[in-house]
Amino acid sequence: MPAEWEIHDRCWMMWPTGLDLDRYPDTKRMRNGYAAAANAISQFENVTMITNAVDSEECKDLVNNSVQVHELTIDDSWCRDTGPTFITNGKSLGGIDWIFNNYGEFLGPDYLNDSNVAKNVIEETSAQYFDAPITLEGGAIHTDGKGTLMITEDVLLDPNRNPGLNKKEAEKILSNYLGVDNFIWLIAALEYDDTGGHIDNLACFAPGNIIIALNEDDTADSNHDKLKENLERLKYAKDINGKKYEIVTIDQPSYDMFLNERLPMSYINFYIANDGIVLPVFDDDKDDDAIEKIKNVFKNKSVVTVPGRPIVEGGGCVHCITQQQPKI
């Protein structure tokens, strides 16, 4: 599994469908947020937006002409999680189809189409198909491309996802499918995170043996203790060669609510494009510090910001709604 900063052939996304109006009542606002992200990414690489046929024309009206629209029957819009995880041996492309059960909520009839998205995309890209034996989503894993994988206990070992699975068994499966041999285990830390603790809200690898991690210094904040626990674990984390990582911390955005629940907002949930970073911002006092730190880490990339809140209101953010396809 290559690092996300390796060259991409394209970025895959999925257009919001309006399936769950109780949880995400403003489909138009979500779609504008997705369009902003797609248009920003298209400055740096090809983008393919998967959409239901009934939504195709509206999608085309909102995205740039350079964004390819691909019609496919879908239920929801989290391409990172229901799309394939791409792997490569440097000469050919493969795609992993993890089992999807709606984030441990079990797969109801409304999400049967999403469980087929990975296979359809793999066929579309002519990649080699790998059918994985565990329930997992792409947003739950992150690699440095050199043999180390970062994951959370709460997702991989969730009894509603993989009952009875232990760390040793999980690591063996992930090693076989992703070509990784070194693991960093963190814990879920954000209150009201619909995913149950995806890594892409908490920490990510960056070039130069760097890990960027979410932080909260306010001891009264409900996310404080768990975020500090993750930072403590990262302090002792080492790469495949036994070298410690440099940890760059970014404070989480200020407390905000939506539909009587805290929004799980994070600056870590950004997309690494070929020559750019598409970073969510929240009209928050902490935005500038996050932008500056990302610029300092990714010195050779342009940082483009997009409004994060319209996407987070739908349950995720920029990284969650995208999936990179490595260039061969």
In DSSP notation, 164-192 reads T--HHHHHHHHHHHH---EEEEE---STT
On average, the pLDDT of the chain sits at 96
59 is annotated as an active-site residue: no
Q: Which residues contact residue 227 at a Cβ distance below 8 angstroms, ignoring those fewer than 6 apart?
A: 189, 202, 214, 215, 216, 252
What are the tens digits of pLDDT across the range 46-56? 999 999 999 99
Cα–Cα distance measured from residue 216 to residue 227, given in angstroms and rounded to the nearest whole number: 7
pLDDT attached to residue 192: 92
Q: What DSSP character marks residue 107?
A: -
pLDDT confidence bin for 20, thresholds 50/70/90: confident
pLDDT attached to residue 315: 85
Instruction: Please determine, for residue 99, whether its predicted confidence score (pLDDT) is greater than 90.
Output: yes
Q: Which residues contact residue 116 at a Cβ distance below 8 angstroms, ignoring those fewer than 6 apart?
A: none
Burial class (CB in 10 A: 0-12, 13-18, 19+), 25: middle
pLDDT attached to residue 24: 85
In DSSP notation, 74-137 reads -S---HHHHS-EEEE-SSSEEEEEEE--TTTT---GGGTTGGGHHHHHHHHHTPEEEEEEEE--
For 20-41, what is the mean pLDDT? 93
Structure-block tokens of residue 211: 């890990």
pLDDT attached to residue 101: 93
pLDDT attached to residue 80: 98
Where exactly are the structural domains of the chain? 8-326
For 166-189, what is the mean pLDDT? 98
For 249-262, what is the mean pLDDT? 96
Q: What is the helix, strand, coil percentage profile of the chain, to 5?
A: 30, 25, 45
Cα–Cα distance measured from residue 214 to residue 289, given in angstroms and rounded to the nearest whole number: 13
pLDDT confidence bin for 62, thresholds 50/70/90: very high
CA angle 145, 148, 152 (to 5 degrees): 120
Best CA proximity match to 135, nearest among 108, 174, 168, 109: 174
For 68-97, what is the mean pLDDT? 97
Are the C-beta atoms of residues 100 and 107 closer than 8 Å to each other? Answer: yes
Are the C-beta atoms of residues 112 and 148 closer than 8 Å to each other? Answer: no
pLDDT confidence bin for 21, thresholds 50/70/90: confident
Are the C-beta atoms of residues 252 and 282 closer than 8 Å to each other? Answer: no
For 281-294, what is the mean pLDDT? 98
pLDDT attached to residue 111: 84
Phi-psi region of 213 (alpha: psi -120 to 50; beta: other; left: phi over 0): beta
How far, in Å, are 10, 98, 202, 320 from residue 226 at the CA level? 35, 27, 10, 21
| Cα radius of gyration (the chain) | 18
Per CATH, which fold does 8-326 belong to? Answer: L-arginine/glycine Amidinotransferase; Chain A (3.75.10)
pLDDT attached to residue 109: 67
How far, in Å, are 124, 166, 269, 278 from residue 33 at the CA level? 26, 38, 14, 12
Instruction: Please determine, for residue 290, whether its predicted confidence score (pLDDT) is greater than 70.
Output: yes
Cα–Cα distance measured from residue 96 to residue 118, given in angstroms and rounded to the nearest whole number: 8
Of 79, 204, 317, 320, which is the active-site residue? 320
Instruction: Please determine, for residue 122, whether its predicted confidence score (pLDDT) is greater than 70.
Output: yes
Are the C-beta atoms of residues 183 and 151 closer than 8 Å to each other? Answer: yes
Sign for the pseudo-dihedral over CA of 269, 272, 273, 276: positive
pLDDT confidence bin for 107, thresholds 50/70/90: low
For 43-68, what is the mean pLDDT? 98
Q: What percent of the chain has pLDDT over 70?
A: 99
